[in-house]
Structure 1
Amino acid sequence: MKYSVEANALAIGYGKAALARDIALGAAKGQVLALIGPNGAGKSTLLKTLAGQLAPLGGAVLLDGQELARIPGNARAQKLALMLPHTRRTELTTCFEFAAAGRIPYTGRLGILSAEDKKQVQNALELVGAAHLADRDFNCVSDGQRQRILLARAVCQQPQVLLLDEPTSFLDVKGKIELLTILQKLAHEQQLAVIVTLHELDMAQKIADAVVCVSPHGVSAPMSPAQAFARENIKALYGLTEEQYSAVFDPSKPEKPHFEHYVRSGQKLLRCGYTTGTCAALAAAGAARLLLAGIAPETVALRTPKGIVVEVAPLFCRTAAEGAECAIEKDGGDDVDVTTGLPVTATVTLLPGTPEVRITGGAGVGRVTKPGLDQPVGQAAINHVPRQMITEALRREAETACYPGGFAVTISIPGGEEVARRTFNPHIGVEGGLSVLGTSGIVEPMSQQAILDTIQLEMNQAALRAKSHRRLILAPGNYGLDYLHETYPQFAAIPVVKTSNFIGDTLDMAAAAHFEQVLLVGHVGKLCKLAGGIMNTHSHTADCRTELFCTHAALCGADREVCTALYNAATTDACLEILDTAGLRKPVLQSLLAAIQLHLDRRAGGAFRVGAVLFSNQHGPLGQTETAARLLNEWKE
């Protein structure tokens, strides 16, 4: 079979690390090739490499028999088009003008459209069922309509090959069916080669002429739909148990959309959930849509700060006394906690005279009673990232409806006050309910053994990358990794292992891997626990942060009033502010760092030199242990 686009012994990835190798696939004219597989396996990376946006790490991509990298940009754009999800706002652009950008390979950068160019734009809009939107502001159309315009822009290029990355994102069921029908028409009637990544396996099964399975273990050769969607293949591809497969794919599966995003943890695939902050933003969007469009949405969707789209059906969406209210059920995925199953409700009213978004907490949402938390004392315990998500979701709904005003939002969690009594909230200074949390919008579950298996795997890989000095950097989580990247970019070549809360276990693994120099970089809220010899820093194991600050402050001469304030502080950042007021920050940190070094040396048992670097997101660098200071000086030489 002659392929319009094909990959020969292709290796893909970012930087020098290959995500997959020895990829061999192709799409012929008149064929729809679907790429399926779990999140993070490399579908988008493969698609971007086939489009020339990412350079291959090995092998080649051929377009009409020619190596893609050797084809000039304009000539390539006349043969191949790529449709990616569009999230950026455009300024004063009609849908016709946005779609017409697809003619740039023919018009040049000035973009002056000939009669033929305008005809091609109009034909493309008609093909995708969006001709009636031509004069509408691109920012003021729905997400589904926006996807049609994006497809029209790609069609305008008159390509031989059309690549699409998750084109059904944000679409309702009808919109998904209509878009995929258009893709079939482009392939089967206009003889385009279409390659599309999809998560909806039922729809992929209906549209695909051939299927490529992308998994963390590699990329399959093209398969027939019957082979690809066979029960055992899908279970193996996604790591599903028989029960999980039956719940999703058997005829009895629920009608409501179920959030399906998995992370690999050791030998397991665990289903992610979404945070209370994501629930609040989704609920606010649903209530606003009912107010602005007059129709209760069947589903609501948003792209979380982590970049993952969450689409769910509301528990209810209805008019209320002064506006509308919508509820989203909290889903913790495989990381079930006390909030899983609770409804998070947003009551929204319109504020036509201002663009402001006012957010407050209602029943079941706690109030901040101690300083040092994300929000000031007296405010609803809705952290700043969820507040941003709520604001962005509402402004997106306003743009779609061309509504210039603002919103008042009250977030409530029925049952939250009772559930909060079983959490740490009263201890840290949140009273009367739960906190609305989430920095990424997604809950990533990890079982303890699965985490340790993952750390061991990373340690093995780090050992292979380590050079003659056998140096290693450890970081408990994302805060440490971000600080390391920003503060010590010169150490980029040194392997890094993420320890999670299992610092002691990771140090043991480093000893077994024969590392000689280890630097631990982390937030003071976690690493201060090492001063008490606590090597599993999860709060369920021990939470003695303020007690340790209190103890070391007393050793440094702090009076009873300061020690009491430290003991009752909500966070380590609050402890640092108390020490600053008392003029004791430097000696107390030096005392804590000395204790941390003592316990690190005891755990290492002479197998390697180890030190720790502490920082705070609020206060910046806080210091390093004695051994860490020496290691940093040696590594900088």
Structure 2
Amino acid sequence: MNTPAQLRRGWTTGACAAAATRAALIRLWGGDWPESVTIALPRGERPSFAVAHRAEGPGWAEAGIVKDAGDDPDVTHGALIVARVRAAPGGVTFRAGEGVGTVTKPGLPIPPGEPAINPVPRAMMEEVVAELAAEHARAPDIEITVSVPGGAEIAKKTWNPRLGIEGGLSILGTTGIVRPFSCAAWIASIHRGVDVARAAGLGHVAGCTGATSEKVVQALHGLPDHAMLDMGDFAGGLLKYLAKHPVPRVTIGGGIGKITKLAQGAVDLHSARSQVDLEALADLAGVPEIAGANTALEASRMAPDLGQKVAEAALAQLVGRYGTAADGTRIGFDVVVIDRAGTVLGRAGP
């Protein structure tokens, strides 16, 4: 993938929570407080985190990590991510502490009533517990309470209230890594990716919104790594450049929420700058109840063929607006819509 290497990457709240869990468990199970801890991220990286907060009491210990978002203007940059651990039956369980929200609406990866701690961060913390339990000959029965002091106020700057996440922030991350969000640098990297693909004589490239859709699209089409353009939310940055520097075939892939925005005419897919029009989506699906859905993913569960309809509508937008390059060259588009697990919900195009 082509990413803006000049920008410093950071770590997700999920990675920080996993590191804090490790530090707290080391102390709970009889070790000295560590100055820093190292954890394994989903893609194999092993970063170290300085422990910034330590506390303990009868039967519990807690540690905190200050989130470093790198050069990304993340609202949680500098926040203290705290994990308190204590022995409790039933395997690894999670609680929302101060500043961590609770899910109240369907359509998110965590069901209503649960702490807003997403699946990958949960898996990372469970891995930490399993590893240390084996080392210390302990049962991996641990309750983890994740807190973010001041998180409720920070959450007001996010879309959490609209999504029905009440009381604070979500603990997020699919890779553990925060990729720097700089419009100019990111779009420049997309342009350079197109240039490299054209120079290599590639006739087919793909722009995807994230790691999961990239993996699915690459497997579907058997594309080499240098055909995969790290489009992210910047669909317009890719499409406008392709209109001047065409490639014969372009696949656009992403989750149903992002591709729905594209189907509705948006080319900046970031949640701060475009939103899914659920009433229009209900009209597209022919299912009025979708207008009351929380997310496009929830809407897709109300209409099994919605992913296909979204793919077709997005394809129509792409062909109509970008199908003919400035020099008259025709660009053949296709669209792949997936869910969070990587299941293909719809495909349109050749």
TM-score, scaled relative to structure 2: 0.89
Q: What is the deviation of 1:597? A: 3.0
Q: Secondary structure at the match of 2:257?
A: helix
Query: Counterpart of 1:291 in structure 2: which amino acid?
Result: L
Cα contact 2:236–2:267 (8 A) shared by 1 = yes
Q: What is the deviation of 1:494? A: 9.0
Separation in structure 2 between the aligned mates of residue 375 and residue 321 of structure 1, nearest angstrom: 31
Query: Counterpart of 1:477 in structure 2: which amino acid?
Result: G
Separation in structure 2 between the aligned mates of residue 445 and residue 598 of structure 1, nearest angstrom: 31
Identify the residue that residue 338 of structure 2 maps to in structure 1.
616
Separation in structure 2 between the aligned mates of residue 330 and residue 575 of structure 1, nearest angstrom: 33
Separation in structure 1 between the aligned mates of residue 186 and residue 73 of structure 2, nearest angstrom: 16
Q: What is the deviation of 1:610? A: 3.2
Please, what is the CA RMSD of the aligned residues?
A: 2.5
User: What per-residue deviation string (whole Å, max 9, x for no partner) do you get for residues 271-303 of structure 1?
Assistant: 211111111111111111112124211212212
539, 550, 553: which is aligned to 2:282? 550
Cα contact 2:259–2:311 (8 A) shared by 1 = no
Inter-CA distance 402–494: structure 2 relative to 1 (3 Å threshold): closer
Separation in structure 1 between the aligned mates of residue 318 and residue 59 of structure 2, nearest angstrom: 59
Cα contact 1:466–1:495 (8 A) shared by 2 = no
Identify the residue that residue 11 of structure 2 maps to in structure 1.
274
Separation in structure 1 between the aligned mates of residue 139 and residue 193 of structure 2, nearest angstrom: 50
TM-score, scaled relative to structure 1: 0.51
Q: What is the deviation of 1:462? A: 0.5
* 2:25 paired with 1:288: yes
Identify the residue that residue 251 of structure 2 maps to in structure 1.
519
Query: Counterpart of 1:472 in structure 2: which amino acid?
Result: V
Identify the residue that residue 174 of structure 1 maps to in structure 2.
none
Identify the residue that residue 417 of structure 1 maps to in structure 2.
152
Query: Counterpart of 1:312 in structure 2: which amino acid?
Result: F
* 2:301 paired with 1:569: no
* 2:78 paired with 1:341: yes
Inter-CA distance 616–624: structure 2 relative to 1 (3 Å threshold): closer
Query: Counterpart of 2:144 in structure 1: which amino acid?
Result: V
Separation in structure 2 between the aligned mates of residue 386 and residue 502 of structure 1, nearest angstrom: 26
Q: Secondary structure at the match of 1:519?
A: strand
* 2:320 paired with 1:596: no
Separation in structure 1 between the aligned mates of residue 165 and residue 212 of structure 2, nearest angstrom: 23
Inter-CA distance 336–513: structure 2 relative to 1 (3 Å threshold): closer
501, 514, 522: which is aligned to 2:233? 501
Identify the residue that residue 400 of structure 1 maps to in structure 2.
135
Cα contact 1:549–1:567 (8 A) shared by 2 = yes
Identify the residue that residue 231 of structure 1 maps to in structure 2.
none
Q: What is the deviation of 1:349? A: 1.2
Separation in structure 2 between the aligned mates of residue 595 and residue 537 of structure 1, nearest angstrom: 16
Query: Counterpart of 2:299 in structure 1: which amino acid?
Result: C
* 2:189 paired with 1:454: yes
* 2:187 paired with 1:445: no
Cα contact 1:317–1:326 (8 A) shared by 2 = yes
Identify the residue that residue 429 of structure 1 maps to in structure 2.
164
Separation in structure 1 between the aligned mates of residue 180 and residue 230 of structure 2, nearest angstrom: 15
Query: Counterpart of 1:569 in structure 2: which amino acid?
Result: A
Q: Secondary structure at the match of 2:154?
A: helix
Q: What is the deviation of 1:472? A: 3.1
Q: Secondary structure at the match of 1:472?
A: strand
* 2:214 paired with 1:481: yes
Q: What is the deviation of 1:589? A: 4.3
Query: Counterpart of 1:570 in structure 2: which amino acid?
Result: N
The aligned length equals: 345
Identify the residue that residue 112 of structure 1 maps to in structure 2.
none
**Higher RCO (Cα < 8 Å, 6 or more apart):** 2
Cα contact 2:311–2:337 (8 A) shared by 1 = no
Separation in structure 2 between the aligned mates of residue 382 and residue 455 of structure 1, nearest angstrom: 31
Cα contact 2:97–2:145 (8 A) shared by 1 = yes
Rg larger for: 1
Q: What is the deviation of 1:546? A: 2.7
Q: Secondary structure at the match of 1:293?
A: coil
Separation in structure 2 between the aligned mates of residue 450 and residue 529 of structure 1, nearest angstrom: 23
Inter-CA distance 350–459: structure 2 relative to 1 (3 Å threshold): same
Q: What is the deviation of 1:335? A: 0.8
536-545 or 273-282, which deviates more: 536-545
Q: What is the deviation of 1:487? A: 2.7
Separation in structure 2 between the aligned mates of residue 505 and residue 327 of structure 1, nearest angstrom: 38
Q: What is the deviation of 1:383? A: 0.8
Q: What is the deviation of 1:304? A: 1.5
Cα contact 1:507–1:603 (8 A) shared by 2 = no
